[in-house]
Structure 1
Amino acid sequence: MSVSILGPENTIVFKRLTKLLQDIPKNNCSAFEEIISEFGQCHYQILYKEDGSLKLSFQLPELEQQFKRQLLSRKAIENVGLFFKGVAKLSTAIEKGFHVSLDIDINLLLRLTPSQQKLWAKSFSSIRLLLIGQPLRYYFSALASGSLPACSSSIPPHTQMFSSQPGQRYGIQPATDGQSVTIHLPIRFTTRQEAVFGSVLLKEFARPPEASGLSQAPQYLYTPPSPASSLSSLSPPSSSSLSMTRQAGESESSPQGDAGIDGGVVSLELLRRHVAGPQLENIVWTMSTFPQLVNYQLSETKTSVRSLMRSSATRMSTRLAAAAAARGRLSLLTTDISSITDA
């Protein structure tokens, strides 16, 4: 899981599919069904039957209905079918509990070169990116092509809210001149300790880049939570934070999925150069899984801090033991001198 969080494809699905394509010509493969879970409560299913048919299914996490409808619209599902046109088709019999199923033309894949097979296996293991990345891909593609519409400066562009992870929302805000897109990412933590470490980590991201290559990175802004919000444990967002995350027509109450400690808001402004060309999908993946990236870095930081604390405690314990031993030797020496003096 820690590997697939850093890339758009599920590495386990990729390995299973590539191995299957290697084993079938050797008659070294029997029917099997495997469900592969991924971070963020997503699931893949690989179903290989005795008749040689291969079906790949994908399940999104449990999202609020409005966000699930956005990601599973008819057009969105059709786009998945179009992407794999020629090597797979949308299955009319979707596996129970899953949201999309593909009937893969295994015979066609077996006629391809090994490098082509790996490319398609990588694409099949990236269905998650195809689905959850739709809103970001739409705006970024428009920005890259110069077709992002400008609007009157007197009317602030509306921030559209989306979600691809339970309890996490993000906002997309086009610039008035159509030359950039800002992504707003409300961050939430589950414990006070995570909130402390996480706030420090997010502030560190905001430091001016020292490396010349990072000077061209998207503009980063971190807005820390208000003191009152920071002190409230496991409380719903304040009305001020909801003003950014709430969609039109929603009530003031916080949905259950947003419960947690307010970690502030990260805003990233992307220009055309950030999303043009082959880097588009990697940017889509990074933005859509940013909260998981923060959690991953947070976990690494906590592990590092614990290791440092253990090392410090060990050194201190060693020094105390050495000091105690030295005091013991001094006490013994004093006793010996006293016995000689008394004699």
Structure 2
Amino acid sequence: MILLPAPTRVLQQILLHRIRYLDRAIELDYQLVEFDDVRYHIQASSSDATSMILSIGLPAPPPEAVLSGGLPFGAIEAVKSVFGPVVQIVDPPEHNFQLTLKLDLSKLPPDEDERAELMIQFACLRAIVLGAPLRDVLKHLAAKVVSPEADRLMPIIHRPRESFFVIPQPDKVTVVIPIRFKDSNDSVLATSFLQEFMEARRAGGLSTAPSCQWSPHPPVELKGAPAHALDANSGFVSFVLLPKHVESEKLDNIVWSLCTFHAYVSYHVKCSKGFMHTRMRRRVETLIQALNRAKPEEEKDGKSTQGRSILRLV
């Protein structure tokens, strides 16, 4: 299994390259698109060596999503907590983007390693913004209380016009992720993959992992969810998180893993299809070689010493 890394690789490379030349004013203007329709726009002017502009565009929200200023609940507070005085939130944000940050490069840490670590955090902006509501719920779970702002059924955006649901309780948090695929073949492969994924949880080395269940029908936890959110052709995956699963350094990893679980499944479905296509092509090539060996030899024409053609009988 391959887990997707949280930092956006191209954005990380651009930011790390920029801090290598802090004494220079470099012209930058990049527009990047990541999976699940997350977009970035990074700008820097050749006349200003101390600032950069970074904008992020989020997936189109589903009808049930609850947003504040176009952003998930707690996103602004999460950004301020992670980056502190290094960033200034631009209001209003850039057109067609939900959040625009102005980076003050003069306030970066003096230590080179700390600067690089901060740039990697900027490359994780997607996880910080989209994962803010889930992170808040899981922080309260670690304290064994329920966030006062949390509803019984919290929708959290993770794909264009799609959300997964969080059901917070003092002693556990249940996360239910509807899995949808447009292609029917992808749906079949995803269903098989998720069934195996659920069975893998029973392996000895994974006994401490969160409980995982898959069902082709909506679980009882989704009672009261809108009808369109219950239409999932690849079923529903449920994770039950306990306080021990969100301790300290585990928190960020589990937030990222849950927010990108659909992309994780989609990645392995595409890999499975690629593997099967490769096997089929190799099998076809083997059959063609067998057919070629089974062909009778073609009749060969020879010529006499006088230049006349003769037919050689075999």
* TM-score normalised per structure 1: 0.76
Matched, 1:164 2:163: no
Unmatched tracts of structure 2, length 5 or more: 301-312
Distance 1:246 1:202, change over 3 A: same
Matched, 1:69 2:40: no
Aligned length: 294
Verify the 8 A CA contact 1:168 1:187 in the aligned structure 2.
Answer: no
Q: CA deviation at 1:303?
A: 0.6
What residue identity is the alignment partner of 1:140?
L
Within 2, Cα distance between the matches of 1:208 and 1:32?
46
Within 2, Cα distance between the matches of 1:160 and 1:24?
43
Matched, 1:306 2:300: no
Q: CA deviation at 1:65?
A: 5.3
What residue identity is the alignment partner of 2:177?
L
Note the 1:131-146 alignment, pairs <5 A.
131-146=129-144
What residue identity is the alignment partner of 2:95?
K
- The residue that corresponds to 2:80 in the other structure is 81
Q: CA deviation at 1:12?
A: 1.0
- The residue that corresponds to 2:39 in the other structure is 43
Within 1, Cα distance between the matches of 2:223 and 2:160?
14
Note the 1:200-215 alignment, pairs <5 A.
200-209=192-201, 212-215=204-207
* Percent identical residues: 24
Q: CA deviation at 1:209?
A: 4.2
Q: Deviations for 1:156-208, whole angstroms, at most 9, x for unmatched residues? A: x9433332311422111235xx3221111111111211111111111110114
Q: CA deviation at 1:211?
A: 5.2
Verify the 8 A CA contact 1:161 1:245 in the aligned structure 2.
Answer: no
Matched, 1:221 2:213: yes
- The residue that corresponds to 1:108 in the other structure is 107
Verify the 8 A CA contact 1:140 1:280 in the aligned structure 2.
Answer: yes
Within 2, Cα distance between the matches of 1:144 and 1:243?
21
Q: Deviations for 1:101-139, whole angstroms, at most 9, x for unmatched residues? A: 111111222x52221111110111112111111221122
- The residue that corresponds to 1:198 in the other structure is 190
Q: Secondary structure at the match of 1:277?
A: coil
Verify the 8 A CA contact 1:170 1:245 in the aligned structure 2.
Answer: no
Matched, 1:266 2:264: no
- The residue that corresponds to 1:17 in the other structure is 15
Verify the 8 A CA contact 2:164 2:175 in the aligned structure 1.
Answer: yes
Matched, 1:320 2:294: no
Note the 1:118-157 alignment, pairs <5 A.
118-148=116-146
Q: Deviations for 1:196-231, whole angstroms, at most 9, x for unmatched residues? A: 111111111011447543221111111025xxxxxx
- The residue that corresponds to 1:294 in the other structure is 265
What residue identity is the alignment partner of 1:114?
E
Q: Secondary structure at the match of 2:207?
A: helix
Within 2, Cα distance between the matches of 1:10 and 1:276?
25
Within 1, Cα distance between the matches of 2:209 and 2:287?
42
Unmatched tracts of structure 1, length 5 or more: 150-156, 226-239, 333-338
Distance 1:193 1:184, change over 3 A: same
Verify the 8 A CA contact 1:171 1:245 in the aligned structure 2.
Answer: no
Within 1, Cα distance between the matches of 2:22 and 2:152?
52
Q: CA deviation at 1:246?
A: 5.2
Q: Deviations for 1:277-331, whole angstroms, at most 9, x for unmatched residues? A: 1110110011011111111111111111111111122222222322x14xx26x9
Verify the 8 A CA contact 1:182 1:270 in the aligned structure 2.
Answer: yes
Note the 1:181-196 alignment, pairs <5 A.
181-196=173-188
Q: Deviations for 1:259-293, whole angstroms, at most 9, x for unmatched residues? A: 7x611111111112211111101100110111111
- The residue that corresponds to 2:246 in the other structure is 275
Within 1, Cα distance between the matches of 2:220 and 2:205?
36
Within 2, Cα distance between the matches of 1:172 and 1:129?
17
- The residue that corresponds to 2:309 in the other structure is none
